[in-house]
Amino acid sequence: MVNVAEHTLDWLFTEQLHIDEQWSYRLPTGFTWWADQHAQTIEIVGEQTGPRGETGYLVCVRTELLCGLDLTDAALVGINAVAMRCAAMSGPVYDVEARRLDLWSLARVHDDNGSWMRNLIAAAATTQIAEARTLAPILAERGAAQPAISGHPQSGMRTVADQMAYAAGVFVISGDLPCAWPEVEFEDATAHLMTGISEVVADGRGLAVEFPFGAQTSDFQVRGDQPHPIYGNGLLLLQHFDVPMGSEAEGVRLALSLNAADLTGEPNGYGFGSYAYADGGLYFSGFISNALHRPGLLANLYSSAAARAQAMSARFVDDGWDAEAYSLDAAVLARRRSEKRARMPTLKPPMRGCPMTSTTNGGE
């Protein structure tokens, strides 16, 4: 029986992205394809059980952006300014070993949200394609790296881009119109979302929420009057966390580490957007295009921000953040791999006449 995540991937491949078999290959849990010259992979990367016992599946979208990248201070500043502070539906994630920077989005899909979450995943895929084409040359120059272009293993390099390479234009066109979320939706959301743990205030063109964050608060804003520099009008999402940092480079490194934690492993809230460092503080930012307007989405965005605030509080207020697990230092990661190998079960030689190999823990 096909589950909701598998159905979502089939819909993306055949109906939404119209992927050509010539420029793609299947994976055990998804597929990789080339709309242009930046490889994009969409796949199921995990499974979770929700609070009501429901099964949820983690679906990721990742597009290769830069290769041969070293995280110098200049590269960090450029990535933060271009790809993080102006994030829409994805965030950059750095692979220390491969020296590669990719765009990532991550969503939890289950039976209750599959019918509309797939539209957000499709939007993440098309915007990643467009942003890879646009941002890679700019970031490569700032970071002394190269655009991560590649070709299909059999078909080679694309010389003519697929029509989906331009599909993000629909978001730009819709952004020329006024914000698709009317004032009444912000007002209704405010009335329904007011709880004992947060204060929600609407001002006609947006809403603001204060979530508990230690002795202070995590301020979350949804603005319908602040257009995106690429996609125009829609919803700007901005959530602030008071995590003191010593320098801009240190702040950007932490933001990249948080992207790795929330956009590749387990999303705390929707994994559409990026952590960033700005004005001496840490933020999570994202943008929802006019074309993605759906009644009730504001309530979902509120719940997403609440989950993110709770996770960030556990990390930085309750000291639950394992900085080394997502370190951008190759030496730290090498040491952790060595420690992990040391804890792995040792293998005994197979018994004579038996094709199976038994394992023990610590040689016992």
List the domain boundaries for the chain.
4-325
CATH class of domain segment(s) 4-325: alpha beta
Q: At what angle do helices 183-193 and 297-316 cross, to 10 degrees?
A: 50
pTM as predicted: 0.90
Answer whether 29's CB lies under 8 Å from 43's CB: yes
Query: 171-182 pLDDT, tens per residue?
Result: 999 999 999 999
CA–CA distance, 121 with 235 (Å, rounded to integer): 17
Chain-centroid distance, C-alpha 122:
13
Task: Single out the residue of 234, 228, 231 nearest to residue 206, CA to CA.
Answer: 234
The alpha carbon of 226 is separated from its chain's Cα centroid by a whole number of angstroms, namely 22
Beta carbons within 10 angstroms of residue 300's beta carbon? 16
- 151's CB contacts (< 8 A; 6+ apart) are 34, 37, 157, 158
Q: Which DSSP string corresponds to 41-94?
A: EEEEEEEEE-TTS-EEEEEEEEEEEEES----HHHHHHHIIIIITT-SS-EEEE
- pLDDT for 332 equals 79
Q: 3-class DSSP state for residue 179?
A: coil
Phi, psi of 145 (to 5 degrees): -125, -170
Per-residue pLDDT tens for 280-322? 899 999 999 999 999 999 999 999 999 999 999 999 999 999 8
Give the three-class secondary structure for 109: strand
Q: Give which of 57, 47, 66, 61 is closest to 89, Cα–Cα.
A: 61
Contact 285, 276 (CB under 8 A): yes
161 token code pair = 């881009």
Q: How many CB atoms lie within 10 A of CB 252?
A: 28
Cα separations in angstroms, 101 against 145, 157, 219, 343: 10, 20, 29, 30
Whether the CB-CB separation of 322 and 202 falls below 8 Å is answered with no
Tokens describing residue 268: 């705390």
Longest dimension (CA), the chain: 77
Tens-binned pLDDT, residue by residue, of the chain (364 aa): 789 999 999 999 999 999 999 999 999 999 999 999 999 999 999 998 877 778 899 999 999 999 999 999 999 999 999 999 999 999 999 999 999 999 999 999 999 999 999 999 999 999 999 999 999 999 999 999 999 999 999 999 999 999 999 999 999 999 999 999 999 999 888 888 766 556 788 887 999 999 989 888 999 999 999 999 999 999 999 999 999 898 999 999 999 999 999 999 888 889 999 999 998 899 999 999 999 999 999 999 999 999 999 999 999 999 999 888 888 887 776 776 677 667 656 544 444 333 333 333 443 3
Q: What is the DSSP letter of 198?
A: B
Tell me the helices (H) and strands (E) count for the chain, helix number first.
Answer: 8, 15
Look-up of token digits 């089939």: 10
Structural element, H or E, at residue 132: helix 114-143
Distance CA 228, CA 176 (A): 11
